[in-house]
Amino acid sequence: MMNVLQIVMDGSMMGCVYGLIALGLSLIFGVMNIVNFAHGDFVMLSMYFTFFVGTFASVDAVFTPLVTMPLLFGFGVLTYYLIIQKTLRERFVVQVAVTVGLMSFLRAFTQLVWQARPRALPFSIIQGNFPLGDLTVLLSRLVSAAVSILAILGIYLFLNRTWLGRSIRAASDDVDAASLMGVNFRWTYAVAFGLGSALTALAGGLLMSFQQVDPTMGLRFGLLSWCILALSGLGSILGLLISGIIVGVAESLAMGLWDPRARSLIVYLIFVLILWLRPRGLFGRK
Amino acid sequence: MSAPRINRRQITIAAIAIAAALLPLGFLNNQYRLILLTTVMLYGVLTSAWNLIGGMAGQLDLSAGAYLGLGAFTTGTLLMRWNVTPWIGMFLGGLVAVAFAFLVGFPLFRFRIREVWYALSSSALVVVLQVVFLLWKDVGGSMERMLPYHAFSWYHLRFGTYLPYYYLLLVLLLATLLTGYYVKTRRLGYYLLALGDNEDAAEVLGVDARGSKLKALVIYAFIVGITGGVYTCIYGYLHTSFFSPTISMEVAILGIVGGMGIIYGPLMATVILVTGREFLRASLGGGLQSLYLAIYAVVLILIALLRPRGIASLISDYLAKRRSALNKERS
């Protein structure tokens, strides 16, 4: 029983980071209706940037987002202007072709620069653990979960309280009406894409404090965040966090009680079932 | 007026088929070139089959790896356990793939899962199958399972050279292309093209969306399943990595940049791009191991951006222009 509680706790803390990654995707898909298959590879790229900054300047993984977030924001904006913008008016298969191309490019690029072997940072100040009753709390997971929740809250406030955030939401509801109200939708889209990418940098920094990175892990994060998005539905930020936690818990239950390799099985079964049974998601607005 | 045009088209097709049949005879001593040709042929079959569900019906299917793996595991396991010839095994593999496609496709289309969600759930199914076979130790498991070695055996479909596989795949490719042409002239083909164009409008006009998509999916799964049987004989082993999300995505991408719904489009893209990629791999391979993949990815992105309707639209546009010019001359 204790074991299950421990698994649920670890899984839910991991789920908060997943929620953060999915929030990035939700900004991109929910606002622009852009099907970004490369989102998971943005996470992978961020983790490599974290590794680079961490080893180059010998900074702790937790502080690297200070550098990698602006970097990924710039990368996202650049990606938007260079390739995404041209596909806005195309059929969605063209977007898929372009973003899958981007995905294999990022994979090849990271492999070219950092080789195929897994990379990890040597230490982090948030390593270690402390007991909580009979349970053990991993400090790195706790900090990651806390930072993720704070970041999700920050995005929530940004979208609701600032003009730019409101214009992003307006553009997601009705681009034409928002344009008439003076929203420059191209700029708004670029910001949303950059912001979505920057969130992967934060998640990448947190993940690298307790995990290693290899060039093929992008697909897993990509499908994971689409799964969370499907589970939550569009338009609810709190829903994303809860869905992230559900997925995280399901994943670690599968790993802890069944077989470590079964984790993707459970996640994708949830994904397929939710699409069949409740396509709007649990918290969907549209 | 239309009779000579069709004749000329048939001549073109026959000429290309004969050229493809004669091509490997130039490289008989070079197994590397032969496996290159075989690889292109293999991808050609997969992308041409994908064209039915992806190109014509517009359903972005990313599950080629699932059917490929099922076909491979059925054929390989039957051969290893009970010495069943792959000639039977590959058709049984095709049927297993069809059964799976039906099981998956029925609810997917029933619950109207479309566009990105269809693409993602089909991609997820590949990974699900991969894990299932990884956990199913009697058939899959984490180790490769080797097929029995035979220097040249038609019964076991195992050869010391790639040449017979090339011809086998060429026959499969021609069968796939003919199926494509056949379907395109039937009611099913018109239904599929209408669905690919605008699903809602097609349904309003009375197109049976569920049935048509399911038929296309099943034909596609059958061809890919058979190809899976050949695939395992070519490489001589079975492994869960056959359920590859990467191959599945690649098939779809080649189908998209080739030109969706144009029968020869995916094949054209495959011949040009896969050959180019393998050429790059061979010439850049030594020093910078994944540079060829980066270049290949950039080329894919550029084609998708500059020619959203695909490479084959170059030819179809040219033909249409010439036809209208001819018509003008006549009138």
Task: Provide the shortest C-alpha distance from residue A251 to chain B (in Å).
Answer: 14
**What value does the mean pLDDT take over residues A187-207?**
90
Q: How far is CA B91 from the centre of its chain?
A: 16
Q: A272 and chain B: CB distance < 8 Å anywhere?
A: yes
B27 pLDDT more than 50: yes
* B296:A264 CB<8 A: no
A63 secondary structure, DSSP code: G
Q: A174 and chain B: CB distance < 8 Å anywhere?
A: no
> E-assigned strands of chain A?
129-132, 135-138
Candidate ranges A22-36, A85-99, B66-80, B176-190; pick with highest mean pLDDT? B66-80
B6 pLDDT more than 70: no
Q: How much of chain A, in percent, has pLDDT values that exceed 90? A: 25
* B128:A259 CB<8 A: no
**B1 pLDDT tier (thresholds 50, 70, 90):** very low
* B128:A264 CB<8 A: yes
Distance from the first to the final alpha carbon of chain A: 39
Residues 257-286 of B with CB under 8 A from A: 257, 260
Distance CA B93, CA B17 (A): 27
Which residue in A76, A63, A20 sits closest to A221, CA to CA? A20
Distance CA A139, CA A146 (A): 10
Instruction: Find the DSSP H helices in A214-261.
Output: 218-232, 237-253
Q: Which domains does chain A have, with CATH numbers?
A: 2-117+133-277 (1.10.3470)
B130 pLDDT more than 60: yes
What does the pLDDT read at residue B5?
Answer: 53
List C-alpha distances in Å: B189 to B55, B194, B216. Answer: 11, 8, 9
B2 pLDDT more than 60: no
- Mention every residue, 6+ apart, whose C-beta is less than 8 A from residue B307: B257, B313, B314
Residue B237's DSSP bridge partners are: B146
Candidate ranges A81-95, A118-132, A265-279, B222-236; pick with highest mean pLDDT? B222-236
Which residue in A241, A229, A270 sits closest to A14, CA to CA? A241
Q: B95 vs B203, which has greater pLDDT?
A: B95
Which residue in A22, A16, A43 sits closest to A217, CA to CA? A43
What does the pLDDT read at residue A42?
Answer: 93
**B36 pLDDT tier (thresholds 50, 70, 90):** confident
Largest CA distance in chain B: 71
pLDDT tens digits, residue range A220-266? 898 899 999 988 888 788 889 999 999 999 999 988 888 888 888 88
- Which of A48-57, B192-201, B222-231, B266-275 is predicted least confidently? B192-201
Question: How many A-B residue pairs are in contact by the CB < 8 A criterion?
Answer: 128
- Which chain A residue's Cα is nearest to B296? A105
Two tokens, residue A17: 């980071």
**Residue A88 dihedral angles phi and psi, to the nearest 5°:** -60, -40
A200 pLDDT more than 60: yes
Q: What rounded mean pLDDT belongs to chain B?
A: 86
Closest partner CB to B297 (pick from A29, A108, A230): A108
What secondary structure does DSSP assign to B51-108, as a single string?
IIIIIIT------HHHHHHHHHHHHHHHHHHH---HHHHHHHHHHHHHHHHHHHHHHH
Distance from the first to the final alpha carbon of chain B: 13
Task: Provide the shortest C-alpha distance from residue B237 to chain A (in Å).
Answer: 22
**What value does the mean pLDDT take over residues B69-87?**
90
SS3 content of chain B, % helix, strand, coil (to 5): 75, 0, 20
Q: How far is CA B236 from the centre of its chain?
A: 20
- Which chain B residue's Cα is nearest to A277? B111
Q: Which chain B residues are closer than 8 Å to A227 by Cβ?
A: 124
Burial class (CB in 10 A: 0-12, 13-18, 19+), B1: exposed
Task: Provide the shortest C-alpha distance from residue A79 to chain B (in Å).
Answer: 12
Phi/psi-derived region of residue B288, left when phi > 0, alpha when psi is between -120 and 50, beta in every other case: beta
Burial class (CB in 10 A: 0-12, 13-18, 19+), A34: buried
Q: How much of chain B, in percent, has pLDDT values that exceed 70? A: 96
What does the pLDDT read at residue B17?
Answer: 83
**What value does the mean pLDDT take over residues A128-150?**
85
Two tokens, residue B47: 């992308």
Candidate ranges A111-115, A131-135, A207-211, B227-231; pick with highest mean pLDDT? B227-231
**What value does the mean pLDDT take over residues A164-190?**
80
What does the pLDDT read at residue A262?
Answer: 83
Q: What rounded mean pLDDT belongs to chain A?
A: 86
Distance CA B169, CA B12 (A): 20
> What's the number of CA atoms in the CB half-sphere (13 Å) around residue A154?
11
**B285 pLDDT tier (thresholds 50, 70, 90):** low
pLDDT tens digits, residue range A5-18? 888 988 999 999 99
Residues 56-75 of B with CB under 8 A from A: 58, 60
Q: Which domains does chain B have, with CATH numbers?
A: 2-330 (1.10.3470)
What does the pLDDT read at residue B74?
Answer: 93
A84 pLDDT more than 80: yes
Residue of A34, A78, A80, A93 for testing the chain B interface, max B β-carbons within 10 Å: A93
Distance CA B190, CA A262 (A): 42
Residue of A37, A227, A272 for testing the chain B interface, max B β-carbons within 10 Å: A272
Distance CA B231, CA B97 (A): 14
Distance CA B261, CA B51 (A): 6
pLDDT tens digits, residue range B94-129? 999 999 999 988 888 888 877 788 888 888 889 889
**A4 pLDDT tier (thresholds 50, 70, 90):** confident
pLDDT tens digits, residue range B175-191? 999 898 888 888 888 88
**A2 pLDDT tier (thresholds 50, 70, 90):** low
- Which of B100-104, B237-241, B284-288 is predicted least confidently? B284-288
Q: Which chain B residues are closer than 8 Å to A101 by Cβ?
A: 253, 297-298, 300-301, 304
Q: How much of chain B, in percent, has pLDDT values that exceed 90? A: 24
Q: B287 and chain A: CB distance < 8 Å anywhere?
A: no
* A107:B121 CB<8 A: no
